[in-house]
Amino acid sequence: MSRPYDRKSSKVRSIPEAKDQWYVLHILSNKEKRTLENLKRLIDEDEEVRSLIQSEPKVYVEKVEEVRNGKKYTVERKLYPGYIYLNIALRRPDGSLHNDAWYKIQAVDGVISFACGRNKEPLPMRPADVQCFLDEVGRREGVTRPKVVFNVNDIVVVRDGAFKDERGVVEEVDAERGRLRVGVTMFGRSNALDLDYTQVQLVPDDELNK
C-alpha cells in the first residue's frame, strides 16, 4: 500500500487549520503499539502537548480472515506498518512551529522521526493526502478481508466439501463478497464451484508442476 504523504516535497505549503493538521510519525519496526502507548503517556502528562492534540493518535488496522488447520480466524493487521498518525496543531497559523512540543514528541521512545518535512522540520500532510488516507481507513473499517488476494487463472486447492484436496482454476473473483468461481475437473468432467475465499488455498508457483 502506498504511503499517504509526500516525503519529497520542499515547496512552502499553506498551513491547514488546527483541526486539519495531520502528521506521520516513522516508528521502529514492530514497535507501533508500545510507541503509541508512550506517546499517549506524553499527551496525558504534558499540558502543552495535550493542548495541541486534535484527536487521539492512532495506528490504523484492518481485520483479516485467515485459515489455519482448517479453522477460520480473524486477526488485526496494521494498514500502514511502521507509522503512527498524529492529528495535532503543531504549526501556528503563521507557519511557525511549536518547537517544544515537536522536540518532546520526537524524543518519545520508539519514534524515529516525522516522516514528512522540510529542512528537518515537520510539515502537515496535504489536505488531499489526508482525505485519501481517511477514505481508505473508512473503506476498511468494519470489513473483514481475506488474508490472501485471488486473481483469475490462479491455481487453488479446495480445502473442504466434496471436492476437498482437488486443484482448480479461479474463473471469477467477487472481492466485495469474498467469493470465487473455481473450475475443478474430476473424472473428466468440469465442475464450476462457488466458494468462499476461506474454502480454498492458493498453490504457490514452486508447487504448480508437482
Whether the pLDDT of residue 143 is over 90: the answer is no
Q: In 99-195, which ranges are continuous DSSP H helix? A: 99-106, 127-140
Query: 133 Cβ partners below 8 Å, 6+ apart?
Result: 4, 80, 85, 125
**Contact assessment for residue 15 and residue 34, using Cβ atoms and an 8 Å cutoff:** no
Which residues sit opposite 76 in a β-bridge? 63
Distance CA 31, CA 83 (A): 10
Distance CA 78, CA 106 (A): 22
Query: What cell does 72 get?
Result: 477460520
Q: What is the pLDDT of residue 203?
A: 86
96-120 pLDDT, tens digit per residue, is 999 999 999 999 999 999 987 666 7
Burial class for 108, CB neighbours closer than 10 Å (0-12, 13-18, 19+): buried
166-175 pLDDT, tens digit per residue, is 999 999 998 7
Cα dihedral 33→38→41→46 (10° resolution): -140
3-state helix, strand, coil in the chain (%, to 5): 25, 35, 40
> Span 43-63, mean pLDDT?
95
Least confident of 90-94, 103-107, 176-180, 182-186: 176-180
The larger pLDDT score, comparing residue 206 to residue 123, is at: 123
Whether the pLDDT of residue 7 is over 60: the answer is no
- pLDDT interval class at 10 (50, 70, 90): very low
Whether the pLDDT of residue 11 is over 60: the answer is no
Q: Do domains 18-146 and 155-207 have the same CATH topology?
A: no
What does the domain layout of the chain look like in residue ranges?
18-146, 155-207
Q: What is the pLDDT of residue 131?
A: 93
Average pLDDT along the chain: 86
Q: Which option is the CATH number for 155-207: 2.30.30.30, 3.40.50.300, 3.30.2010.10, 3.40.50.12280?
A: 2.30.30.30
120-142 pLDDT, tens digit per residue, is 789 999 999 999 989 988 888 87
Q: Which fold has domain 18-146?
A: Alpha-Beta Plaits (3.30.70)
33 sits in which H/E element: helix 32-45
Whether the pLDDT of residue 5 is over 80: the answer is no
> Span 92-98, mean pLDDT?
93
Q: What is the pLDDT of residue 1?
A: 47
